[in-house]
Homo-oligomer: A and B are copies of this chain.
Amino acid sequence: MPFDYIPPLLHPSQSKIVLLVLDGLGGLPLNAGGLTELEAAHTPIMDRLAVEGTLGQVTPIRAGITPGSGPAHLALFGYDPIHYEIGRGVLESVGVGLQVKSGDVAARGNFCTLDKNGNISDRRAGRISTEEALPLVDKIAKVSIPGVNTEVRHVKEYRFAVVMRGDGLDPDIDDTDPQRTGVPPLKPEARTSAAVHTADLFNKWLDEARAALSNEAKANGMTLRGFSSDPKLPTFKDSYGLNAAAISVYPMYKGVASLVGMQVIQFPGETPEDEFSALAEVWDEYDFFFIHIKKTDSKGEDGDFDGKAKVIEGVDNALPRVLDLNPDVLIITGDHSTPAKLRTHSWHPVPFLLWAPHTARPDKQTQFGEQACARGGLGDFPSMNTLPLALAHANRIDKFGA
């Protein structure tokens, strides 16, 4: 349980909480004395919410630590990613929309090139393109091992994910990538006796999958890494008493949300407007809504400062659709920073806006931006405090003690 003192204090409520996550929201000025992407963006709605609400800045994992997307979202959901680990195989699988349930075993796969002696000559199969890889994934997806079900999905270029489902499976298996060339791929080795059967099944699967690729020039072999199972995270229902829904375009974020028990909402389209329309559709059915906007991060990773600012402006422009639903609590933040200047995730704190019409304490800040957030009334705090703050402002937690 992320906060074991919270469940005994929860009481039923009709209140609605919206957590709007702009992926990689935090930024940096391109030049000394300049503005960040968020500061440069024209965001009249967010600025009004900043006036009415309270600002702060959050540290996703720990000081100085640049988060991956999985841990960053776990932190926002209140689960300390240092303690709650999602296996790499599971993360890769849910990232492409494969479900990993209790008892399933997931792994990340790489296509590789084997020479005529069966030794690896290229660990990434010449970095084959997605177009080249897709038909190969179709081939190995057809491999069938008696007693279990396997599902394979392409990830990107030479990477894929595989999930095995059946009785008595155990993920405690070593990687098969020897991390060097000139040697054959390793066999899946069980680390414990409980995993011997599963290692054997993956061994069989690898043999048949390799046979299916024997005529390929570049991708005639494969390695598997990060064998892992459902991390059995406490659910939002158990942790916070919330019926939670996730609205996201990208499978990765739907996947992490589903691991904490959120209902993933299917909807057409992919713009912020589409996501907010989906929100309106299911508004009456849930208490908590996680909405994920991907493109702030994508533009940041592209080094596209103006593009990132434009994505933020697009979200701002569509925000009245959310406000029209009269949420009791609206939080706008990011999972981490992705400054366009750095073209990658970074460790910098993330701007945080809490809007709650009846209970937010104003802090004289008038613009949603990094500098204002650094002086905001909520101060600096870990991303992990987001849910407790949301529950409090949604009037869902009783007094602690008499």
Beta-carbon contacts under 8 Å, A78-96 to B? 81-82, 85-86, 88, 91-92
- Does residue A297 face the partner (Cβ distance < 8 Å to B)? no
Contacting pair A64 B391 (CB below 8 A): yes
Contact of A68 among B92, B341, B390, B401 (CB under 8 A): B401
- Does residue A174 face the partner (Cβ distance < 8 Å to B)? no
Contacting pair B392 A91 (CB below 8 A): no
- Does residue A113 face the partner (Cβ distance < 8 Å to B)? no
**Residues in chain B near residue A67, CB distance under 8 A:** 399-401
- Does residue A314 face the partner (Cβ distance < 8 Å to B)? no
Decide if the interface of chain A is mainly helix, strand, loop or mixed: loop
Contact of A64 among B342, B349, B389 (CB under 8 A): B389
Beta-carbon contacts under 8 Å, A346-379 to B? 346-349, 358-359, 361-364, 370-371, 374-379
Given A52-B32, A65-B397: A359 touches B388 (CB 8 Å cut-off): no
**Residues in chain B near residue A250, CB distance under 8 A:** none
- C-alpha gap A374/B376 in the complex (Å): 7
Interface centre among A28, A36, A64, A398 (most CB of B within 10 A): A64
Interface centre among A9, A376, A377, A388 (most CB of B within 10 A): A377
Contacting pair A400 B362 (CB below 8 A): no
Given A88-B402, A400-B67: A371 touches B381 (CB 8 Å cut-off): no
Contacting pair B371 A68 (CB below 8 A): no
Given A81-B400, A371-B363: A385 touches B63 (CB 8 Å cut-off): yes
Interface size class on chain A is 35 or more
Contact of A377 among B72, B364, B374 (CB under 8 A): B374
- C-alpha gap A126/B187 in the complex (Å): 75
Least CB distance, A373 to chain B, in whole angstroms: 9
Contacting pair B400 A63 (CB below 8 A): no
Contacting pair B399 A66 (CB below 8 A): yes
Contacting pair A400 B71 (CB below 8 A): yes
Quick one: CB contact mask for A25-36 with B, threshold 8 Å, 1 for yes?
000110011001
Contacting pair B348 A64 (CB below 8 A): no
- C-alpha gap A29/B52 in the complex (Å): 11
Quick one: CB contact mask for A143-171 with B, threshold 8 Å, 1 for yes?
00000000000000000000000000000
User: What is the chain B residue whose CB lies nearest that of A95?
Assistant: B402
Least CB distance, A402 to chain B, in whole angstroms: 4
- Does residue A293 face the partner (Cβ distance < 8 Å to B)? no
Contacting pair B64 A392 (CB below 8 A): yes
- Does residue A15 face the partner (Cβ distance < 8 Å to B)? no
User: What is the chain B residue whose CB lies nearest that of A376?
Assistant: B374
- C-alpha gap A111/B33 in the complex (Å): 60
- Does residue A296 face the partner (Cβ distance < 8 Å to B)? no
**Residues in chain B near residue A378, CB distance under 8 A:** 380
Given A64-B385, A81-B401: A28 touches B392 (CB 8 Å cut-off): no
**Residues in chain B near residue A361, CB distance under 8 A:** 28-29, 36, 348, 370
**Residues in chain B near residue A123, CB distance under 8 A:** none
- Does residue A317 face the partner (Cβ distance < 8 Å to B)? no
What are 16 A-B pairs at a CB distance below 8 A? A3-B62, A63-B381, A64-B385, A64-B388, A66-B399, A70-B401, A70-B402, A81-B400, A91-B401, A91-B402, A347-B392, A370-B377, A371-B377, A374-B376, A374-B377, A375-B375
What 10 pairs across the A-B complex have the smallest Cβ distances?
A64-B388, A379-B380, A68-B401, A64-B392, A63-B385, A71-B401, A374-B377, A347-B392, A68-B402, A64-B389
Beyond the given A64-B393, A68-B402, A72-B401, please list 20 additional residue pairs across the A-B interface where CB-CB is below 8 A. A28-B359, A28-B361, A62-B385, A64-B388, A64-B390, A66-B397, A66-B400, A67-B401, A68-B399, A69-B402, A70-B401, A85-B401, A91-B402, A341-B358, A344-B399, A345-B399, A347-B389, A361-B370, A374-B377, A380-B380
